[in-house]
Structures are given as C-alpha cells and as structure tokens.
Amino acid sequence: MKVWQAAGCSLLLALSSSAMAKTVDTVASFSVLADIVKQVGGDHVTVTALVGPDGDPHTFVPSPQDSVKLNQADVVFMSGLGLEGWMDRLVTASGYKGPVIVASDGVQSRTMQEDGEVVTDPHAWNSAANGAIYARNVTDALKAADPQDADYFEQRGSDYIEQLTKLDHWAKARFASVSEEGRKVLTSHDAFGYFGAEYGVTFLSPQGFSTESEASAKQVAELISQIKSQHIHAYFIENQTDPRLVKQIAAATGAKAGGELYPEALTAKGGDADTYLEAFKHNVTVMADSMK
C-alpha cells in the first residue's frame, strides 16, 4: 500500500509539473525571424509573425489586430537596424510592457548609399554567420523568459547555430568554385549586401535597400549600361517585390531568368523556402547554378 501511495504521489507530482510547464507566447516582426524563434523554441513557444509569408516588411502597415497580438505576448522580437520603422509606434499603441529583443544585436552592420544619404543596411540575416548571432540572441531571450526550460532552449539553440555554421561554410565553398568575374547577379532591390560581402557575390539592383524606393530613369539607364559592360547573364525576381522593373531591365540587357529569390520573406508552409534554412539554401543554389 505504501509503495502504491509513493508511486501515486510521484505520478501526481509529474502531472503537476507537466501541467505547470510554461509556453512562451512570442511575436516576431517578420517571417524569417519568426522561423528562427520557432526553431529555437520548439514546443515551448508559440510564434506569431506580424509580416507573414511572402510579405514585405518595408511596406507593412500594422493593424489594430497586431496591437492586440503584441499586448498579449510575453516576448517581442524584431530584427532592428532600421528594418521595422513601424515597430516603436506599434509597441506604444499596443500597451505592451514586456521585453523587445533586437535579434541583430552584435552584428557588424553595413552602410550603403540610399538617395544620396548613408544608411544602415537592415538585411543582416542574409549572411548565415549573422543568422547564428540572431539565433544566439533568441536563445538567450527565451531562457530569460522561461528559466525552467533553459536547458531545452540552450540545446535547441546550440544545435541550430551549428546548422547555420555548416550552412555558412557550404555557401562559401559553393561560390569559391566560381570565378570572381562570374559572381554577379541582377536582383529587384538591394537586399543582399551582407550576403555579397560574406560570399563574394556582386549584386546590381534598380531599387535601393527598401522596396519603397523608386529608381529614376537615369539610374535604370546607368544600370543597363553597367550590366551590359560587365556581361551579367542572369536576373532574379523576389517573392515579395513587383518583378516588372527587373524584367524590363533584363529584356534590355539580354539577361536570362535565373529563378526566384527569398531575401526577406519565407514562403507559406510547403513552399520552396518555408524555413530560414531552406530559403538560404535555395538562394545559394539558384544563384550559384546561374553562374556556371
């Protein structure tokens, strides 16, 4: 009888502990970051992406429903570096008082010219090495939000960072097999600055870092001349941008379609790029294949 009581007591304690297990309710600014949070958090997080699959974080306009999502969250994640110009207003409007984690903290940021001004390039995750920094910041934030599951988050975060490190090495090796002269591509907007710096690829684009910017007729003409003089053979459209301008430039230069890239938005579940890892692998593969 005593043995049964002890076993029953242990069972009750186990059930009680299981019932008390915390799930961290998180909100992430856009789909790439939301996936990083999900990969680290596993079953111990719920993740809501404000800018969903195929969505453009530059042109996003928050709704009243987004304020409700933030208000009910335990932790909010943003990329930072100027990507989410709407986030501060949304946090204030929502009444959210919890931590806002800037996932790019620790990244060595790049600057670029935009309409005659020097601005910070926000697309840091397009380097897998930077993606590992994002993952570490996410891991630490989840451990702080739920210390009871700290070991779980640490293990998942470490495993994920290892995958990103291997992906970084693979991408470098893949592009190293292509001559420097051949590592050039045409894209819709300038979202691959960190990628280009990390993997030795030159990108030309009619728009600046934001899809809200508009290329002038003079800029387009100069870009066409540059593409012709540098013999760039492939152009790529992006899943979250209007492809008409880049197709117009390609038609004027003879560049051929190289496929679709996913620089700042994942696809819906089941698509070619429904996780950050898959999107990165896809981008590297189609670009490198076009350079053969």
**The predicted structure's pLDDT at residue 113:** 72
**Lowest mean pLDDT, pick from 23-27, 234-238, 271-275:** 234-238
Measured CA distances, 121 to 54, 109, 116 (Å): 20, 7, 14
CA distance 235 to 246: 7
pTM: 0.82
Averaged pLDDT, 63-70: 97
pLDDT in tens, 36-54: 999 999 999 999 999 999 9
Top pLDDT among 283 and 210 is at 283
Residue 243 pLDDT exceeds 70: no
Averaged pLDDT, 165-171: 98
Query: Counting beta carbons within 10 angstroms of the beta carbon of residue 83, is it exposed (0 to 12), middle (13 to 18) or buried (19 or more)?
Result: buried
Domains by residue range for the chain, with CATH: 21-169 (3.40.50.1980), 178-290 (3.40.50.1980)
- Percent of the chain beyond pLDDT 70? 74
Q: Where are the beta strands (DSSP E) in 156-280?
A: 184-186, 202-204, 234-238, 256-261
**The predicted structure's pLDDT at residue 211:** 43
Averaged pLDDT, 249-275: 82
Top pLDDT among 291 and 271 is at 271
CB atoms within 10 A of CB 195: 26
**The predicted structure's pLDDT at residue 58:** 87
CB atoms within 10 A of CB 252: 15
**The predicted structure's pLDDT at residue 85:** 94
CA distance 147 to 150: 5
Averaged pLDDT, 203-220: 56
Residue 32 pLDDT exceeds 90: yes
Backbone phi, psi, residue 257, to 5°: -65, 125
Residues 74, 98: contact at Cβ < 8 Å?
A: yes
Residue 202 pLDDT exceeds 90: no
**The predicted structure's pLDDT at residue 247:** 66
Residue spans of alpha helices (H) in 42-127 = 64-71, 87-94
Averaged pLDDT, 88-111: 97
Averaged pLDDT, 222-236: 67
208-241 burial, b at 16+ Cβ within 10 Å, e below that, comes to bbbbeeebeeeeeeebbeebeeeebbbbbbbbbb
In terms of Cα–Cα distance, which of 36, 60, 37 is closest to 50? 60
**The predicted structure's pLDDT at residue 4:** 38
Residues 59, 212: contact at Cβ < 8 Å?
A: yes
Residue 10 pLDDT exceeds 70: no
Q: Name the region of 83 (left: φ>0; alpha: ψ -120 to 50; beta: rest).
A: alpha
256-291 burial, b at 16+ Cβ within 10 Å, e below that, comes to eebbbbbbbbbbeeebebbbbbbbbbbbbebbbebb
The pLDDT mean for the chain works out to 84
pLDDT in tens, 112-160: 777 678 889 999 999 999 999 999 999 999 999 999 999 999 999 999 9
CB atoms within 10 A of CB 19: 7
In terms of Cα–Cα distance, which of 91, 77, 83, 93 is closest to 57? 83
